[in-house]
Structure 1
């Protein structure tokens, strides 16, 4: 995404801080909860849950926490009801921001997020005010190509598997898919020996907004603050930062 390098590096740093504060565990648990609630508690038949469990285990989320979360989601254990919401807003310099929210109290979360935007030079928008500036995409990041060579072999395999494009990302090669083809492409690639470092459905900007040097600190402060909120799962922006 535009501005990916700087924002991606900030997210990685913030992710480590979240883990130290316990916020990362909360977000991982919510990912598992919603995946299990929507598609059932079996990762063999629920790809979204499989991805959530892989991330949880990679970040050392305790096994008993994982089991309890799945039990709550599937109704075998009484627990809190979470709902998933997409928030839209504008930051300084007119940058667009999308937020994946998972909350057990919609009113509380809305008030919190509205306050964060207002205090940092932005505003929470209405539904549809920002989403049109993004496209929903699947992104598969490769850890290993197996016996394939970078270039024509990989491109041919990816396209044959149903992918839309291949690009070089911060962590290496990324394969881009339509949301409805995400699971199929992943399965096809893995069946040919490719190893994935990460796989996610994300929002990618279609209309990048260049952020001035003067406005960079304000925009990044807003993005970081939003990302650190307990109810925010993911932050997407069309902000493009100078290298």
Structure 2
């Protein structure tokens, strides 16, 4: 089976780099992260299983397990970035504390974002687990691209939204296909909420609400990860 995990980890990123202008060109630099410090995918996957939400709906739980069976996704969700104060930091504390830099992982970010999405008033009670999963997987292509850029020694990246959507679809292909065999309507709705092309039986108003929840929940994620400077 030709899944994303069967490709070289950085092939997808390298073919998606935009270098039409000097500002968008990837510039080789020494990586700030030592690859020797990265743990094996199996070790990280065990940690991920403990830290991520487990869904009561078995269809969603199977989807999450299949998605994180890809080593590329495990590495991407644990690859750290040194950033400013946590986007989810409390508003109290001294100026010195608030200005301290810290290292955050994508898993930390998406857990917070997914919990935020679940609590939004535009999300109905029976949609909460669904929106949590959608929010968890939505930025997978962004996380993968940032990791690939840093590990490849690049200082700047310029990846188009269309490319991120394409790459997201590649990483989610198998899990979406499996879900569709179980529940076509749920699979089609998830595909639409994630901005992936496709046809199916969806409710446009529901998709619009849930897409809004995902995008609002990830405002801070994009502020931290979706920058040209790494």
User: TM-score higher than 0.5 here?
Assistant: no
Could you say which structure has the larger radius of gyration?
A: 1
Query: Which protein has the bigger helix share?
Result: 2
TM-score by length of 2: 0.31
